[in-house]
Amino acid sequence: MRSTLRRLKTAGKVGFIASVSALSIGLAGASADDFDIQVYGGLQGAPHSTVSTSDGTEFTAGWEGNSFEMPLYLGARGVWWGAVDSMPDLGLSLDFTHAKVYADDETLASTPGWTHFEFTDGLNLLTLNALYRFPIENTSFTPYVGAGAGINVPHVEVTRPSGITSEYQIGGATLQAQAGIDYRLTDRWSVFAEYKGNYSFVNVDIDNNATLDTNIWTNAVNFGVSFRF
């Protein structure tokens, strides 16, 4: 079972890397005026999720985001607008988010022997997305929406009676949706605010030759700055 999961994760990783490579080739041919670099932070959290392990443990985890505690919740992306010549308002983005979740005190108290459970050196998310913007004439405001998919790369931190796990792994697939509004300050600089949600299918190896499975839905309100080349 563990070898099968690894093969599935590897196949997903290879497919995503191929998609990223194709985007990179496209970006290399894009005109300078079409490319934005964006960085953002904000407030991120996650609702409860069911956690199960292959050696028989199952419980509901309450998650805390602690966005402003180290390591901070942060993200960055590149956006290529005009990905299709006839559709200047269609864009492609490659988005990296350092999301994170901590099991709350109630979760640990109700799970005998589990003293540490979190993904806080990142429930790291790398996604490829399609974006569409809706320019408003005679204003500096531009609403936009987007959706995409990619992979999650969590730093798995579990301490339980049978052992300790602390390592980065490929967790599985991640789906992303976002909606926001950009405000143009100058020809090159703008600021933006958005909602961004990610649904991550996390299946990772832990101690005692076991696996851990949970689906984590992170919700974030982001504020960021964008620079157009």
Instruction: Determine the pLDDT at residue 84.
Output: 80
**Count of structural domains within the chain:** 1
Examine the pLDDT at 141 and tell me if it is beyond 60.
yes
Instruction: Determine the pLDDT at residue 229.
Output: 87
Q: How much helix, strand and coil, in percent to the nearest 5, is found in the chain? A: 15, 60, 25
* CA separation for the pair 45, 99 (Å, rounded): 9
* 49-99 pLDDT, tens digit each: 999 999 999 999 999 999 999 999 999 999 999 878 789 999 999 999 999
Average pLDDT over all residues of the chain: 89
CATH number of the domain that 169 lies in?
2.40.160.20
Instruction: Determine the pLDDT at residue 86.
Output: 83
Instruction: Determine the pLDDT at residue 32.
Output: 43
* CA separation for the pair 147, 197 (Å, rounded): 9
Instruction: Determine the pLDDT at residue 33.
Output: 53
Where in the sequence is the domain holding 32, given as residue range(s)?
A: 2-228
Neighbours of 209 (CB within 10 A): 11
Cα torsion angle, 69, 213, 115, 156, sign: negative
> Angle at the Cα of 122 (from 214 to 52), degrees rounded to 5?
15
* CA separation for the pair 171, 155 (Å, rounded): 9
Examine the pLDDT at 9 and tell me if it is beyond 70.
no
Give the β-pairing of 210-228 and 49-53. Answer: antiparallel
* CA separation for the pair 61, 78 (Å, rounded): 33
138 confidence band (pLDDT: 50, 70, 90): very high
Instruction: Determine the pLDDT at residue 4.
Output: 41
Instruction: Determine the pLDDT at residue 54.
Output: 96
Q: Which residue did the predictor score with more confidence, 166 or 2?
A: 166
Residue 216's nearest CA partner among 205, 196, 204, 200 is: 200
* CA separation for the pair 224, 219 (Å, rounded): 16
